[in-house]
Amino acid sequence: MSVVTRFAPSPTGHLHIGGARVALYCWLYARKMNGKFILRIEDTDTERSTQESVQAILDGMHWLNLGYDEGPYYQTKRFDRYREVLDQLVKEGKAYRCYCSKERLEALRAKQMEKKEKPRYDGLCRERHESQPGPFVVRFKNPPDGAVAFEDLVRGQLSFNNTELDDLIIARSDGTPTYNFTVVVDDWDMKVSHVIRGDDHINNTPRQINILRALGATPPLYAHLPMILGPDGKRLSKREGASSVMDYRDEGILPEALLNYLVRLGWSHGDQEIFALREMIMLFEIKEINKAPAALNPEKLLWLNQHYMKTQDPEEVARRLYWHMEKLGIDTEKGPALVDIVKAQCERVKTLKEMAEKSCFFYGDIDYDAKAREHLTPELAQPLAAVRDQLSQLAEWSPEGIHQVITGVAEQHQLKLGKLAQPLRVAVTGGTVSPPIDQTLYLVGQERVANRLNQALSL
């Protein structure tokens, strides 16, 4: 069987973490099986769907580098096809027009509630053969008895009694098809072999299987992913659930780190934590998806992110750092190469945003805040001036040369190295944290170091 998976978001918001995980699992499985991965935009709910959301989803997929082999398909462009299948079902007596008024349905519902029965359509129009004037919806003739059983690839054997399922409305009175119907037609037409999606859809599955069978189609295999919980193990808060993958980018997370984090949210391979993309593709197995919900773990994401900042091609990390520097309004043209900043900073920061914020001093002007000034005491004026003079004359600007100057001056003034290095750091960077002092000064550059020491000495 050739594997076809699809990611089928409704464009009613960003690409959030849950959606991105579904997309990743679908993508991974298609890649692993040399199959096809389809992107399908389920935009039939025209009131809630927006073009911004479509764009946000496409941007998110692009940023995560989850390429699709087909699509994006838009359901709103497939109405003719849905109409065709709908007509076929009605013609074959597998679906019917229902003329029941809103009032009748409401009264029915109230009566059922009163009797503590599950509200469901009573099938009044089911056997009506002649057309009637007035508005109607189209309902699918669900089998009245028996059960729909299927093997969920994550949860195992599941079975739903048909008596639990209603005669589902598949077209509204304005003729537009409903969600469960469009999904069925699309999965059928697109030859989807594996439906991987969140388990909030599990109750739709038996309905979709019944419709597929009525169409004479073989239902795909289903894998329903367990929920993602908040870090506290409780339901995701609105904010946690809504944060888009682009928020992670803005916070300075690398896409590779986010993918690694996502793959482990609900899937494991022994106790391995780090997966390069190629390895993920090789090792990913649907049957190893956990049944239990996974909890977000922001600490782990930061840990992974630092790992990727340290191990990825520094040129690539630098390219992404550039974006963050630009966002801070820093012109990185005049100053050290960003790739050297990455190498110097990756051990001490967890995100690219933090790296950018802590690297501004390499490029722009600096200020000395009150706390920094405390380090610049009058008795350090002489040694700092000596450092300035000797560094200005340094013939070869290198970390080693700089180191020699600093140790020389410290010895001369009978200062411990740290007692000189820290004020020097403050004088040159404006703050108290930076990479090792010789490396920091080296990257700041000879002329800038002299200027900043002058600036500090003038305080």
Residues 176-195 that bind ligand GLU (CB under 6 A): 183
Task: Express the helix, strand and coil content of the chain in percent, nearest 5 each.
Answer: 50, 15, 35
CB nearer ligand GLU, residue 222 or residue 308? 222
CB of 40 to ligand GLU, least distance (A): 8
118: left (phi over 0), alpha (psi -120 to 50) or beta: beta
CB of 70 to ligand GLU, least distance (A): 16
Taking CB under 6 A as the binding criterion, the range among 2-10, 336-344, 367-375, 419-427 that sits at the site for ligand GLU is 2-10
Taking CB under 6 A as the binding criterion, the range among 4-12, 123-131, 233-241, 416-424 that sits at the site for ligand GLU is 4-12
Establish if 9 lies at the interface with ligand GLU (CB under 6 A). yes
The closest of 183, 194, 149, 187 to 284, measured between CA atoms, is 194
| Active-site annotation holder among 91, 118, 238, 287 | 238
CB of 59 to ligand GLU, least distance (A): 17
Task: Compute the distance between CA of residue 151 and CA of residue 157 in angstroms, rounded to an integer.
Answer: 4
* Interface residue with ligand GLU, options 21, 78, 139, 197 (CB under 6 A): 197
What count of residues does the chain have?
459
Site size with ligand GLU, rule: CB under 6 A: 7
Give the DSSP letter of residue 422: H
Task: Compute the distance between CA of residue 4 and CA of residue 150 in angstroms, rounded to an integer.
Answer: 19
Establish if 42 lies at the interface with ligand GLU (CB under 6 A). yes
Task: Compute the distance between CA of residue 61 and CA of residue 68 in angstroms, rounded to an integer.
Answer: 9
CB nearer ligand GLU, residue 195 or residue 355? 195
Taking CB under 6 A as the binding criterion, the range among 8-16, 162-170, 305-313, 431-439 that sits at the site for ligand GLU is 8-16
Give the DSSP letter of residue 146: S
CB nearer ligand GLU, residue 9 or residue 435? 9
Establish if 17 lies at the interface with ligand GLU (CB under 6 A). no
The closest of 406, 378, 398 to 439, measured between CA atoms, is 398
CB of 10 to ligand GLU, least distance (A): 4
CB nearer ligand GLU, residue 201 or residue 403? 201
* DSSP secondary structure letters along 300-368: HHHHHHHHHHHHS-HHHHHHHHHHHHHHTT---SSSS-HHHHHHHHTTT-SSHHHHHHTTGGGTS----
CB of 202 to ligand GLU, least distance (A): 11
Is 238 among the catalytic positions? yes
Q: How many CA atoms lie within 13 A of 121 on its CB side?
A: 22
CB of 205 to ligand GLU, least distance (A): 9
Which residues bind to ligand GLU, rule: CB under 6 A? 8-10, 42, 183, 197, 201
Catalytic positions:
238
